[in-house]
Amino acid sequence: MTLENIILEHEKGIATLFINRPEKLNALNKATIQELHETLKLVNENPDVRVIIITGSGQKAFVAGADIAEFAHFSAEEGTQLAAKGHQILFDFIENMKTPVIAAINGFALGGGLELAMACHFRIASENAKMGLPETSLGVIPGYGGTQRLAQLVGKGRAMEMILTAGMIDAETAKIYGLVNHVVPQEDLFSAYMTVATRIMKNSPVAISRAIEAVNANFKTGVNGFDVEIKNFGACFATEDFKEGTTAFLEKRKAEFKGE
């Protein structure tokens, strides 16, 4: 697979994807979205990959929005198709991946960039990060899940204010809002997400994938999250990871999980 806009690094169970369009502040275009999908699908199916990190190249931007030049002259039908395809192959795809995905926000995360970060399972930001959904200033609304995921993460009122004012917030405000989990100096971002990823890797990959599905179920229309939790809880009992985890606990040793 030839990658023009993504740099993939894989070390000790952690796959790091760098969005690499520095001349465009890593803005998302169709090609980059497709490359992200293909790369994420590849690493998600790799049993040696236990955690995935998405970040931006350089020190200025995570992803500073979508590539507006690509859709500035779209019709209503083309705009609808653009959003639908983006949801399918990238944003919803990330949210429902069995492998945990962490967004390492290393600068501007605007528009589609913030929507990408919000699709990840959680977020760590550097102190210089700025986040916002400026779409209404362009005469459009967020189309890659921003109106839904932002409200889920920060609450309806704060989401409404951010979207309707098209303003940016800094990393500390994002942490207060619950939009990001941690804020660290930019030079410490790598070590911060590696530390969290290493902690995740100590746990059962089977249980982690089941937990992701159960948590997500609470936010899906027509799905009873408690029912999904009960089903997934029971399913864990039939796995080798459960046998290893409970045996290790009783034997007072560290579990060595292999996954299914």
User: Distance (Å, rounded) from C-alpha 93 to C-alpha 64?
Assistant: 21
Assigned domain for 83 exists? yes
Whether 217 and 159 map to the same domain: the answer is no
Whether 223 and 146 map to the same domain: the answer is no
User: Distance (Å, rounded) from C-alpha 87 to C-alpha 246?
Assistant: 38
CB of 62 closer than 8 Å to CB of 24: no
Classified as helix, coil or strand, 6 is strand
CA distance from start to end of the chain = 26
Whether 171 and 239 map to the same domain: the answer is no
pTM strictly above 0.85 = yes
pLDDT in tens, the chain (260 residues): 678 999 999 999 999 999 999 989 999 999 999 999 999 999 999 999 999 999 999 989 999 998 888 888 999 999 999 999 999 999 999 999 999 999 999 999 999 999 999 999 999 999 999 999 999 999 999 999 999 999 999 999 999 999 999 999 999 999 999 999 999 999 999 999 999 999 999 999 999 999 999 999 999 999 999 999 999 999 999 999 999 999 999 999 999 998 76
DSSP symbol at 230:
H
Assigned domain for 1 exists? no
Assigned domain for 259 exists? no
Whether 16 and 142 map to the same domain: the answer is yes
Assigned domain for 258 exists? no
Whether 30 and 152 map to the same domain: the answer is yes
Catalytically annotated residues? 115, 135
The domain of 89 spans: 6-201
Whether 209 and 105 map to the same domain: the answer is no
Assigned domain for 26 exists? yes
